[in-house]
């Protein structure tokens, strides 16, 4: 069992397969020119499998693949199938652009639920936010996966003045479609142009919904980072991930492995532990995993508090989101 000083048991590992991506979401990538990590520096498929196995032996029972965009990695299907042999709930977070190629593999790997990111329902705004003309592909793939019986959660990062006016449109989408929309408060990462006045808080999101809809609170699953709701009569649900105004750190069970094999004990951790180099040297990585979790801060990586109005993103010591794996 992997436990920290605050009694939190860590049974959920998020593995980034790559920092490469076929989109350019401005809130995720650093502003300056960014070179993707060369493939040779990334964890190889057999290394991902071996490290994941060690985590499972230490108590992990849920693994999420993320990135960058996990499905741009050429051996993504093989990695999915290899990890599906482990006794874990396997899932992934994807931008959805390649999902139509992966339906049989996802089935074979036993994936039942996945998170797909879509921040706007307007194709022209999508192009501005991602610098790619891929709205229709993603929207169609979301429906394709739902039609194939997958549980689809849609991640929507809410930003003031940009897409917050679309909150009711996303709720309208849940009326006849069994889609589970998750509104995410905008978070600060290295070089992502975050400012506190762009955050749309949990309260503000609920207020925007209440203008048009009555909603009810749903019972959250243990360790859930999202507060769930539904509008009675709607086929889908919605939830809010309120990392900035009401974080979920007290129930945190997450650990992260970056694509270059560094373990992060928190999304906002300042430090990281180089598991891949140790593994390549033939060292036992178990003590490193436990030490990393022992060193975990109580909340938000020890870097800020919910008093985020006075926060300056450049004072946070972290990677960019695309290199962490959200």
Residues lying near ligand SAM in the complex (CB under 6 A) are found at 21, 27-28, 66-67, 69, 93-95, 117, 155, 157, 184, 186-187, 189, 192, 321-322, 326
129 sits near ligand SF4 (criterion: CB under 6 A): no
In the list ligand SF4, ligand SAM, none, the entry touching 29 (Cβ below 5 to 8 angstroms by class) is ligand SF4
**Closest to ligand SAM by CB, 67 or 261:** 67
From the list 20-28, 33-41, 205-213, 251-259, the region that binds ligand SF4 by CB under 6 A is 20-28
- The least CB distance from residue 119 to ligand SF4, in Å, is 9
Query: Is residue 191 within the footprint of ligand SF4 (CB under 6 A)?
Result: no
Residues 6+ apart with CB under 8 A from 30: 190, 191, 192, 320, 322
What stretches of the chain adopt beta strand conformation (E)?
12-16, 62-66, 89-94, 113-117, 151-158, 180-185, 216-217, 227-230, 237-241, 254-257, 262-264, 273-274
- Could you give the string, one character per residue 79-118, with x where binding to ligand SF4 holds by CB under 6 A and - elsewhere? ----------------x---------------------x-
3-class DSSP state of 320: coil
**Contact flag: residue 67 with ligand SF4 (CB under 6 A):** yes
Residue 12 pairs in a beta bridge with 62, 254
Q: In what order do the strands lie in the sheet containing 12-16?
A: 216-217, 227-230, 237-241, 180-185, 151-158, 113-117, 89-94, 62-66, 12-16, 254-257, 262-264, 273-274
Q: Which of 145, 67, 62, 48 lies closest to 104 in space, CA to CA?
A: 145
Look at residue 15 and give the partner it binds from ligand SAM, ligand SF4, none, a contact being a CB closer than 5 to 8 Å depending on partner kind: none
Residue 11 binds which entry of ligand SF4, ligand SAM, none, with Cβ cut-offs from 5 to 8 Å by kind?
A: none
Pairwise CA distance, residues 232 & 247, whole Å: 27
The encoded tokens of residue 169 equal 């449109």
- Chain mean position to CA 229: 20
Q: Does 16 bind ligand SF4 (CB under 6 A)?
A: no
Taking the least distance from each CB to ligand SF4, the nearer of 29 and 200 is 29
29 binds ligand SF4 (CB under 6 A): yes
Beta bridge partners of 113: 151
Q: Which is nearer to ligand SAM, 123 or 210 (CB)?
A: 123
Nearer Cβ to ligand SAM (118/289)? 118
Among 52, 65, 244, 322, binds ligand SF4 (CB under 6 A): 322
Name residues contacting ligand SF4, limited to 210-269 (CB under 6 A): none
Residue closer to ligand SF4, measured from CB, 24 or 176: 24
Name the token pair of 38: 């060369």
Q: Identify which of 147, 214, 210 has the alpha carbon closest to the alpha carbon of residue 178.
A: 147
Catalog residues that contact ligand SF4 under the rule CB under 6 A: 21, 23-25, 28-29, 67-69, 95, 117, 322
């Amino acid at each position: 069992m992997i436990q920290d000083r605050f009694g939190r048991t860590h049974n959920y590992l998020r593995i980034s397969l790559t920092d490469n991506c076929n989109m350019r979401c401005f809130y995720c990538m650093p502003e300056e020119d960014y070179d993707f990590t060369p493939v040779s520096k990334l964890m190889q498929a057999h290394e991902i499998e071996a490290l994941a196995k060690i985590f499972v032996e230490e108590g992990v029972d849920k693994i999420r693949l993320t990135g960058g965009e996990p499905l741009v990695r050429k051996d993504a299907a093989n990695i999915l199938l290899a990890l599906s042999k482990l006794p874990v709930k396997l899932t992934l977070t994807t931008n959805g652009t390649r999902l139509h190629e992966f339906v049989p593999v996802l089935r074979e790997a036993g994936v039942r639920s996945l998170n797909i990111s879509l921040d706007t329902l307007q194709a022209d705004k999508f192009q501005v936010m991602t610098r790619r003309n891929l709205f229709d592909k993603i929207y169609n793939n979301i429906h394709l996966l739902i039609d194939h019986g997958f549980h689809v959660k849609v991640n929507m990062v809410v930003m003031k003045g940009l897409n917050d006016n679309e909150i009711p449109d996303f709720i309208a989408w849940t009326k006849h479609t069994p889609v589970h929309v998750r509104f995410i408060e905008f978070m600060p990462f290295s070089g992502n142009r975050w400012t506190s006045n762009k955050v749309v808080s949990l309260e503000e999101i609920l207020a925007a919904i209440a203008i048009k809809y009555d909603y009810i609170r749903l019972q959250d699953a243990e360790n859930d980072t999202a507060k769930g709701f539904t509008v009675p009569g709607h086929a889908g649900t919605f939830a809010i991930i309120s990392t900035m105004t009401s974080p979920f750190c007290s129930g945190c069970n997450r650990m992260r492995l970056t694509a270059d094999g560094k373990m992060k004990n928190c999304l906002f951790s300042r430090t990281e532990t180089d598991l891949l180099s140790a593994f390549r040297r033939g060292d036992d990585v178990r003590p490193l995993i436990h030490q990393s979790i022992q060193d975990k801060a109580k909340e938000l990586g020890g870097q800020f508090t919910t008093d985020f109005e006075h926060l300056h993103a450049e004072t946070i010591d972290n990677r960019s989101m695309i290199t962490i794996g959200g």
